[in-house]
Amino acid sequence: MARALINLPSTARPGEVIEIKTLIQHPMETGFRPGPNGQMLPRDIITRFVCSYDDAEIFVADLHPAIAANPFLTFTTVATASGTLRFTWSGDNGFVQTETRTLTVA
């Protein structure tokens, strides 16, 4: 499993806009780069990232090879109610990884 780092506050006030930062370990191999033997390395990238907040999708990113290795994404959401945020990265070669974090809103 790839290592992922998710940064968001654990608590927020109702209506507060919180910033979420995510990082995941992934080479994002472009498919445009020759390997040591001169042959092109096959593309191996994360193509999609989805963040859900209590099952509603609040942020979706479609990624192309121009996204840097170990993709970093920052976005915001309104803290509406205490609940679970689910983060899913998916991509080439069947790559899927999901992480969850809880947010307390009070």
Binding site for other proteins (CB under 8 A): 3-5, 7, 17, 21, 23-25, 27-28, 30, 32-34, 36, 38, 40, 53, 56-78, 80
Nearer to other proteins, 64 or 93 (CB): 64
Nearer to other proteins, 70 or 88 (CB): 70
8 Å CB contact between 68 and 46: no
Q: Work out how close the CB of 33 gets to other proteins at its nearest, in angstroms, rounded to a whole number.
A: 6
- Which residues 6+ apart lie within 8 Å of 103 measured at CB? 8, 9, 10, 11, 12, 18, 53, 79, 82, 83, 84, 85
